[in-house]
Amino acid sequence: MYLLGITGNVGTFTGEKMFLKDFIERYKQFGFSVMNETYGCNMTKYCVYLLLNRQHCECVIEIYHEGDMVFVTVE
């Protein structure tokens, strides 16, 4: 998972790369909107806008897997 700072669409950026499980442990409450999904051979990639601590950030989530993906949604 790549969590990018707020800089807009151009210029330099700051951010942090971490495992998804570490992100979930660190940030207990967040919301996000998926802007783009990419599916390839054993990989799924999501580009999202994340609402974290009342700030919007860009985020890229890359999931490497074997076999079929199962999507579970929570309402």
Give pTM, 2 decimals.
0.69
Q: Name the nearest CA neighbour of 30 among 67, 10, 11, 56.
A: 56
Q: Does 48 map to a domain?
A: yes
Q: Does 74 map to a domain?
A: no
Q: Does 75 map to a domain?
A: no
State the average pLDDT for the chain.
Answer: 82
Q: Does 20 map to a domain?
A: yes
Under the banding of pLDDT at 50, 70 and 90, the label for residue 10 is low
Based on the structure, what is the number of domains in the chain? 1
Distance in angstroms (rounded) separating the CA atoms of residues 33 and 59: 10
Find where tokens 């800089």 sit: 7
Q: Which domain holds residue 7?
A: 2-64
Q: Does 37 map to a domain?
A: yes
Does residue 6 have a pLDDT over 70?
A: no
